[in-house]
Structures are given as structure tokens and as C-alpha cells.
């Protein structure tokens, strides 16, 4: 196996260099994509990876639901397919009828699957008890759309559990289909922790899904118990996560979310590609959302943003006080609960400030508001998603905190670095791959890194950052280090290009060792 793989890799390297010039037709299937629907960093990955692949010459298109809140006028949506019949496998109600509309953003074409009941009439992207039906409709809808001949891609690129069963359908129900059976699939894991509409840690033994049974019909209760994430991993030709380190971490029980054994078994098709950042969209030189524009040679101008941030959040105006920041989803994953506990002690002992922007878990939001009540002139919180405020934070704060329990990639540290704020992170997943611990003697490094998820380790690094902040010359050098780093999409998009070719080779040479209990 491993020597076959070695030959393979060598061949691919040879092939890929000559083939990458050949434009590929790529269809990316996802629930969110900016600017149409954005809940988290996921949506910018879909949008900006596509934009970069397009720049490389590929014909890349996105397929997503047409949620009711997507403004048809604003984005100029046009109908491309009326009355697409999507089979449900449920005899009493055999088809759901959908339309497909289209629009362009950043030169990339997006297709929207339109359905009144499942997308149009829902105010939110996620959070409904019938989400498995909604995503099964998307997954089967995209395959029926391809069959209609409107756009036949060379590769289907699926993302997270919502689209995990695309490859499952393709390898079972559609395995005799002339068009579909030829198309390789890749599956990107942005977050292994969410595997379906259930807590995968608390599934009764009887309800455990090994992924080998047929996909249940749209209206069958069993669909809610099927593990779409597991199925995406099992049936896709290649699988990747959004950083190299996370792709290795998930092979262990600590990070594998119960799927580590499966991933170990299938590791020959598992890859890691770190996310990038759109350097045109995120640019302190031109960003219209920030108070004062600046670049690596005019970092002193950044202080105006610092004052503006302090004003915005009602904090004491002081250039000498380091401002720590947090931007992101309030989620157990991100370690904000531990952060608040540590900050309580930091606030008592040091002249520092803290600003937070981002919503999510109500309990964590309460902890933050409570911290703010204790230290009103030192702490500012905005417990809702807000893109403009996030930019003010990146451009005005000194250190961005990211003490995650696990982190598949993380984008906020890349955004912060682009704006000259230093990241303070736990050494996990994409944070380990993108932040290098500072060496205060020779002034190298890009941030503050700690290993263990515990309060002492985090506290220690915060104190270290406060100390180093006093050394103005060193701090300026560190700010330049982070701003010189290039995390733009160019490199990662090239890696995806290679992965698409690899998926094609894997599809043609390695047969899946899967037995389906009910062939369809």
C-alpha cells in the first residue's frame, strides 16, 4: 500500500506540474458562501478560495441554497433551471420541485437551489430540526442539477457534514449514471466536531451509524441519525482538513471526535491544506471600514485606530495601555470561558484593556458581559457578529487572543496579522501552522504560543505579551514580522489544484473497500 502510494505521489507530482495549466471545471458545494450567507469563517473560505481558483484560470462555480434572506435584486439573480425534480426516495411524496438561480460575485458564478419550504421560508441558515432533510435536498439537488447538463464539472468539492452525503449518493444510487459516476469528489472537513443534527458523543448504541447503510429517504426519521460527516469521509475520493496540523491531530482520540479510527484507516486519502486570506479585501492600506489607513511603513498611524477603538467601547483613552482583543464565534471550541477567568485576574493586576466582538453561546456571552460590568473602563464587549467592528478591532488592538481547545484552521489570527496585531494562541491545528513563537532576543517570530489548555499557560503568555509591549522597538519589529507574512490564497489554491488532480487519480485506481447493506 505505502509503496503504491509513493509511486502515486511521484506520478502526481510529474503529472500535476504539466496538468495544472489545464483549466478544470470545479463545482464547490457548501451551505454558506460570502457575500450571500455568512455565519462564520467557513463562508469566506468558500468565496475566496473560489475567487483564487478562478484567477488561476479554472472554471469554478459554487452551489448553495437560496435562503430567503438572499436579496435577489441586490445580487441580480437569474433563473437558469425551472422545476428541477429532486427524488426523495419517499413513495408518497417522490419529488421535491426546485428552481436553480444564478448570480456572480468576484467573477465567480454561484448557483442557488431554490425551494420555498426548506430554504426560502427559513430566517436562518442553521438550527432547524429538519436540517438533515434540508441538506439532503441540497446534496441530491446538486447531483440532479449536474445530470440536467447545465454544468458538468470535472470535480465536485463538498464541505462539512451538510454535504457529506453527496459522495454517498454518487457512489451508490448514481453509480451507474454515465455522467456522475465519472466525477471525483473531494470532501473538506472544516470542523469535525459537528457530524449531523445530533451530539455524536451521546448517541445510543442502537443509533450508531457506521455509514454503510443506504441514505434514508428525505422524510424518514433515520435520516436524522445518519452521520453525514462519517459518510463524507468514507465515500469521497479524497478528504482534507483546513490545516496540516489538524489533519494529523484528528488521527488521535483527543481530537478525532470519535472518527479517529476511521480516519486512520483511510489516511492514505487524507490531506491538510491551510486556509488563506483575501489580501485585497483585508488590507489596512485601503480598508474603508477602519478609521485611519496605514501600511507596514506607517505603523505610527495605527495609533489613531487605537484611540478610536477605545472611544467606541468607552474605554480609557491611553496609547500606553496594551489592548487585547477577541473576535469570533462564542463557542466552547474557542476557549473563551477559560479566557474570561484568566482575564479577571489579569485585569486586577495590570493596566490592560480587552475588547470582544462576536456572538454565539448565551452562557459565554453572559460571562463576557459580567467581566465588562466588573471592569467598565477596561473591558468592552459586543456579543454579536459585526464585520465592521471586527475590522476596527484588528486595526486598533495590539494582541488578538485565540486560546482554542481545538482549531481546524482559524482565520482571525491571519486577519489580525494582516493588520499588525500580534496573535496569542494555543499551539493547535491551524494556529500551530500559522503562528511562530516570538524570540525576544533576536526579534524573530510572529506571536505568543502556549501548549497546554490551562489557565496558567494562558496567563503566562498574556503577562509575557504585556512585558514585551513595553519594549517599543522590539514591538515595532514584531508588528513588521507579522505584516510581512504572506497568507494570501495563492499558495493554498495551488494546493487545492493538486488535490483535485489527486482525487481524480485516487478515484481511478483505488477502489473503496465498502460493502453496502442494501445496494440500490
Please report where in the chains the cell 491551524 appears, as a residue.
430
Which one of 29, 31, 36, 40 is in contact with ligand GLC (CB under 6 A)? 40
Is 247 a binding residue for ligand GLC by CB under 6 A? The answer is no
User: CA 70 to CA 38: how far, in whole Å?
Assistant: 11
CB of 39 to ligand GLC, least distance (A): 9
Residue count of the chain: 520
Between 190 and 391, CB nearer to ligand GLC: 190
Query: Are the CB atoms for 248 and 271 separated by under 8 Å?
Result: no
Is 242 a binding residue for ligand GLC by CB under 6 A? The answer is yes
Three-state SS for 389?
helix
Which one of 408, 420, 445, 447 is in contact with ligand GLC (CB under 6 A)? 408
Between 61 and 334, CB nearer to ligand GLC: 334
Q: Which of residues 266-305 bind ligand GLC (CB under 6 A)?
A: 275
Which three three-digit cell numbers place residue 256? 478525532
Q: Which stretch binds ligand GLC (CB under 6 A): 41-49, 276-284, 363-371, 416-424?
A: 41-49
Query: Are the CB atoms for 316 and 452 separated by under 8 Å?
Result: no
By rule CB under 6 A, what string of x and - marks binding of each residue 331-370 to ligand GLC? Answer: ----------------------------------------
Give the torsion through C-alpha atoms of 142, 148, 149, 154, to 10 deg.
30
Q: Which stretch binds ligand GLC (CB under 6 A): 16-24, 194-202, 362-370, 403-411?
A: 403-411
| Contact residues for 146 (Cβ-Cβ < 8 A; gap 6+) | 27, 152, 153, 156, 179, 180, 183
Q: Which of 26, 170, 15, 60 is nearest to 500 (CA)?
A: 26
Q: Which stretch binds ligand GLC (CB under 6 A): 13-21, 55-63, 354-362, 409-417?
A: 409-417
DSSP assigned state of 380: E
By rule CB under 6 A, what string of x and - marks binding of each residue 65-104 to ligand GLC? Answer: ----------------------------------------
Which one of 190, 231, 306, 426 is in contact with ligand GLC (CB under 6 A)? 190
**Diameter over CA atoms, the chain:** 73
Please report where in the chains the cell 426523495 appears, as a residue.
88
Q: Which stretch binds ligand GLC (CB under 6 A): 40-48, 92-100, 251-259, 352-360?
A: 40-48
CB of 171 to ligand GLC, least distance (A): 25
Which one of 45, 180, 355, 428 is in contact with ligand GLC (CB under 6 A)? 45
CB of 108 to ligand GLC, least distance (A): 18
Between 379 and 400, CB nearer to ligand GLC: 400
Is 157 a binding residue for ligand GLC by CB under 6 A? The answer is no
The DSSP result for 275-325, as a single string, is: --B-TTTS-TTT-TTSSS---TT-GGGHHHHHHHHHHHTT----SSS-EEE
Q: Which of 435, 367, 369 is nearest to 401 (CA)?
A: 435
Is 409 a binding residue for ligand GLC by CB under 6 A? The answer is yes
CB of 414 to ligand GLC, least distance (A): 9
The DSSP result for 240-273, as a single string, is: EESSHHHHHHTTSTTTSTT-HHHHHHTGGGEEE-
User: CA 58 to CA 498: how far, in whole Å?
Assistant: 13
Which one of 30, 31, 36, 41 is in contact with ligand GLC (CB under 6 A)? 41
User: CA 121 to CA 119: how far, in whole Å?
Assistant: 6
The 10 Å CB-count burial string (b at 16+, else e) for 222-248 is ebbbbbbbbbbbbbbbbbbbbbbbbbe
Q: Which stretch binds ligand GLC (CB under 6 A): 97-105, 119-127, 130-138, 407-415?
A: 407-415
Which one of 12, 287, 407, 497 is in contact with ligand GLC (CB under 6 A)? 407
Which one of 191, 395, 434, 481 is in contact with ligand GLC (CB under 6 A)? 191
User: CA 269 to CA 446: how far, in whole Å?
Assistant: 32
Between 64 and 309, CB nearer to ligand GLC: 64
Is 322 a binding residue for ligand GLC by CB under 6 A? The answer is no
Binding site for ligand GLC (CB under 6 A): 40-42, 45, 190-191, 242, 275, 407-411, 430
Amino acid at each position: 500500500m505505502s509503496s503504491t502510494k509513493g509511486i502515486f505521489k511521484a506520478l502526481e507530482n510529474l503529472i500535476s506540474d504539466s496538468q495544472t495549466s489545464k483549466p478544470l471545471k470545479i463545482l464547490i458545494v457548501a451551505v454558506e458562501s460570502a457575500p450571500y450567507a455568512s455565519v462564520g469563517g467557513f463562508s469566506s473560505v468558500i468565496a475566496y478560495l473560489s475567487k483564487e481558483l478562478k484567477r488561476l484560470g479554472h472554471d469554478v462555480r459554487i452551489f448553495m441554497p437560496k435562503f430567503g434572506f438572499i436579496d435577489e435584486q441586490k445580487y441580480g439573480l437569474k433563473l437558469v433551471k425551472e422545476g428541477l425534480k429532486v427524488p426523495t426516495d419517499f413513495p408518497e411524496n417522490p419529488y421535491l420541485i426546485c428552481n436553480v438561480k444564478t448570480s456572480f460575485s468576484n467573477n465567480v458564478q454561484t448557483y442557488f437551489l431554490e425551494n420555498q419550504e426548506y430554504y426560502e421560508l427559513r430566517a436562518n441558515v442553521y438550527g432547524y430540526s429538519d436540517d438533515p432533510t434540508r441538506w439532503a435536498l441540497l446534496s441530491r439537488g446538486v447531483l440532479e442539477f449536474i445530470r440536467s447538463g447545465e454544468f458538468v464539472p470535472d470535480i465536485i468539492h463538498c464541505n462539512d457534514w451538510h454535504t457529506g452525503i453527496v459522495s454517498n449518493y454518487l457512489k451508490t444510487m448514481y453509480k451507474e449514471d454515465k455522467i456522475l459516476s465519472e466525477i471525483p469528489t473531494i470532501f473538506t472537513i472544516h470542523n469535525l466536531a459537528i457530524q449531523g443534527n445530533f451530539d455524536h458523543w451521546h448517541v445510543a448504541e442502537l443509533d450508531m451509524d457506521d455509514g454503510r447503510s443506504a441514505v434514508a429517504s428525505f422524510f424518514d426519521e433515520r435520516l436524522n441519525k445518519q452521520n453525514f460527516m462519517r459518510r463524507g469521509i468514507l465515500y469521497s475520493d479524497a478528504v482534507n482538513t483546513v490545516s496540516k496540523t489538524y489533519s494529523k491531530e484528528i488521527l488521535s482520540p483527543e481530537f478525532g471526535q470519535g472518527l479517529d479510527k476511521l480516519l486512520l484507516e483511510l489516511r492514505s486519502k487524507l490531506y491538510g491544506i491551510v486556509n488563506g486570506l483575501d489580501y485585497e479585501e483585508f488590507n489596512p492600506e485601503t480598508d474603508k471600514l477602519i478609521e485611519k489607513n496605514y501600511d507596514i511603513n506607517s505603523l505610527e498611524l495605527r495609533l489613531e485606530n487605537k484611540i478610536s477603538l477605545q472611544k467606541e467601547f468607552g474605554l480609557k483613552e491611553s496609547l500606553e495601555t496594551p489592548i487585547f482583543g477577541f473576535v469570533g464565534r462564542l463557542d466552547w471550541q474557542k476557549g473563551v470561558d477559560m479566557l474570561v477567568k484568566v482575564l479577571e485576574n489579569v485585569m486586577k493586576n495590570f493596566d490592560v484593556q480587552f475588547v470582544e466582538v462576536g456572538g454565539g453561546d448565551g452562557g459565554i456571552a453572559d460571562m463576557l458581559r459580567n467581566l465588562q460590568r466588573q471592569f467598565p473602563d477596561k473591558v468592552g464587549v459586543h456579543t454579536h457578529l459585526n464585520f465592521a467592528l471586527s475590522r476596527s478591532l484588528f486595526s486598533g488592538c495590539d494582541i488578538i487572543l485565540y486560546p482554542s481547545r481545538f482549531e481546524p484552521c482559524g482565520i482571525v489570527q491571519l486577519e489580525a496579522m494582516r493588520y499588525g496585531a500580534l496573535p496569542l494562541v494555543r499551539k493547535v491545528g491551524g494556529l500551530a501552522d500559522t503562528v511562530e513563537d516570538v524570540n525576544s532576543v533576536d526579534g524573530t517570530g510572529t506571536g505568543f504560543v502556549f501548549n497546554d489548555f490551562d489557565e496558567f499557560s494562558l496567563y503566562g503568555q498574556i503577562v509575557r505579551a504585556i512585558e514585551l509591549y513595553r519594549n517599543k522597538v522590539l514591538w515595532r519589529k514584531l508588528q513588521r514580522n507579522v505584516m510581512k507574512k504572506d497568507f494570501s490564497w495563492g499558495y493554498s489554491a495551488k494546493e487545492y489544484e493538486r488535490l483535485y488532480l489527486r482525487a481524480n487519480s485516487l478515484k481511478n485506481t483505488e477502489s473503496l473497500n465498502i460493502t453496502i447493506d442494501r445496494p440500490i
